[in-house]
């Protein structure tokens, strides 16, 4: 009956708050199922066959009140509903997850004006902190209802340091444009639990020179297909420039076994790895002599708007394999952040 939690968000919860949520989870599960996790037999007053849900919630409230907790049947019901909707995260005290204010006690109009000045610098040439402070004052002079009480120069510089943290405002324009595309809050987590349910594909140029077949040196692109559930790179290819056929080859490699090649160590065999392949030998005998690379059939593939991925060839390959192709939103790298991170490191 337990709902899978958003583990990335739970990592930010203080330990005492998380322990409190885990304590509540035991009681909520008893209300829902009639027994706590690990117990074979439940108590009669929580038996779903004999007691209604409202009766079980009232019984749990009475039990906790007797133990010194100030709760009501309604509060138990509210926690039960949040748990069924959001899992363990629904039982976490949301006050512990509120982000700290970066502006402190500085007037809200000043903060708004400085945020605007910093945002304007995302698509322009590099600006210094002094210029951002000057632009902030200029915006405030034309702001409606501005009282004219400016913080000290030292306070403004401290505010600029906090608001521009991680935004590369005094850095390069390319870095600022990339960072400006990121969301203000933490990345949301895709609820994937099975291999192949959601996969991501991406290309990145490598800052190395290689000798091509034509005898000339040039840089190459690494294109990788990554499974989100297992974080496995199921296929990758190096090309001077990734074409639609190269992206289609990655799909084929992901769904087929990689044969061992001459000179490869026996340690690379799937037969000596921890991958569960024995039960699949009756389906594909090639797994007996395959390399230890996971064979994963994609259900959904997330890509950017590169020509190789939105081409007719790649779309046709996805349709042939029954794959749902999901292009990411433009200028939103967080839609495929796993592939964007894995592709450079190979």
Cα–Cα distances in angstroms (integers) from residue 296 to residues 44, 55, 190, 232, 341, in the given order: 46, 47, 18, 9, 20
Angle at 151 (CA atoms; ends 149, 156), nearest 5 degrees: 140
Angle at 99 (CA atoms; ends 86, 92), nearest 5 degrees: 30
Yes or no: say if 335 and 201 are a contact pair by the CB < 8 Å rule.
no
CA 54 to chain centre: 37
Yes or no: say if 244 and 308 are a contact pair by the CB < 8 Å rule.
yes
Q: Domain residues of the chain, as ranges?
A: 7-97, 108-180, 199-255+296-345
**For the chain, which residues score pLDDT lower than 50?**
1-5, 343-346
Q: What is the pLDDT of residues 260-282, one digit of tens each?
A: 989 999 888 888 887 777 777 77
- Please give the pLDDT value at position 342: 55
Confirm or reject CATH 3.40.109.10 for domain 199-255+296-345, answering yes or no: no
- Please give the pLDDT value at position 323: 94
- Please give the pLDDT value at position 153: 86
- Please give the pLDDT value at position 335: 75
Q: Measured between alpha carbons, how far is 92 from 105 in angstroms, rounded to an integer?
A: 28
Yes or no: say if 71 and 64 are a contact pair by the CB < 8 Å rule.
yes
- Please give the pLDDT value at position 100: 55
Give the torsion sign (CA, 248, 325, 256, 200): positive
- Please give the pLDDT value at position 301: 94
Angle at 184 (CA atoms; ends 180, 187), nearest 5 degrees: 105
Question: Would you say the pTM of this structure is higher than 0.85?
Answer: no
* Residue 209: CB atoms within 10 Å: 11
Yes or no: say if 97 and 12 are a contact pair by the CB < 8 Å rule.
yes
Yes or no: say if 201 and 223 are a contact pair by the CB < 8 Å rule.
yes
- Please give the pLDDT value at position 326: 92
Cα distance between the two ends of the chain = 38
Q: What is the pLDDT of residues 12-56, one digit of tens each?
A: 778 888 889 889 999 999 999 888 887 777 888 998 889 999 999
């Amino acid at each position: 009956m337990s709902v899978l939690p958003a583990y990335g968000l739970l990592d930010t919860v203080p330990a005492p708050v998380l322990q409190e949520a885990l304590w509540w989870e035991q009681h909520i599960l008893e209300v829902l199922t009639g027994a706590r996790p690990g117990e074979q037999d439940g108590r009669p007053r929580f038996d779903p066959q004999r007691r209604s849900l409202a009766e079980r919630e009232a019984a749990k409230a009475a039990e906790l009140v007797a133990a010194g907790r100030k709760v009501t049947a309604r509060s138990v019901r509210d926690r039960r509903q949040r748990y069924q909707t959001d899992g363990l995260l629904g039982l976490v005290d949301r006050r512990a997850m509120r982000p700290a204010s970066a502006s402190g006690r500085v007037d809200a109009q000043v903060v708004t004006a400085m945020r605007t000045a910093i945002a304007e610098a995302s698509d322009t040439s590099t600006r210094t902190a002094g210029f951002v402070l000057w632009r902030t004052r200029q915006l405030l002079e034309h702001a409606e209802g501005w009282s004219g009480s400016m913080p000290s120069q030292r306070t403004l510089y401290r505010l600029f340091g906090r608001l521009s943290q991680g935004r590369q405002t005094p850095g390069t324009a390319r870095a600022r444009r990339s960072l400006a595309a990121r969301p203000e809050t933490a990345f949301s987590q895709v609820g994937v639990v099975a291999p192949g349910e959601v996969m991501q594909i991406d290309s990145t140029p490598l800052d190395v020179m290689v000798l091509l077949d034509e005898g000339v040196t040039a840089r190459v692109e690494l294109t990788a297909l990554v499974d989100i559930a297992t974080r496995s790179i199921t296929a990758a290819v190096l090309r001077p420039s990734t074409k639609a056929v190269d992206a289609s080859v990655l799909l084929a490699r992901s769904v087929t076994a990689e044969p061992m090649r001459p000179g490869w160590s026996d340690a690379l065999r799937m037969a000596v790895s921890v991958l569960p392949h024995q039960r699949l030998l009756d389906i594909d005998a090639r797994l007996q002599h395959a390399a230890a690379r996971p064979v994963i059939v994609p259900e959904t593939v997330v890509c950017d708007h590169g020509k190789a991925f939105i081409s007719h060839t790649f779309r046709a390959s996805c349709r042939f394999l029954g794959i749902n192709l999901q292009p990411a939103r433009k200028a939103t790298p967080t839609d495929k952040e796993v592939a964007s991170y894995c592709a450079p490191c190979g």
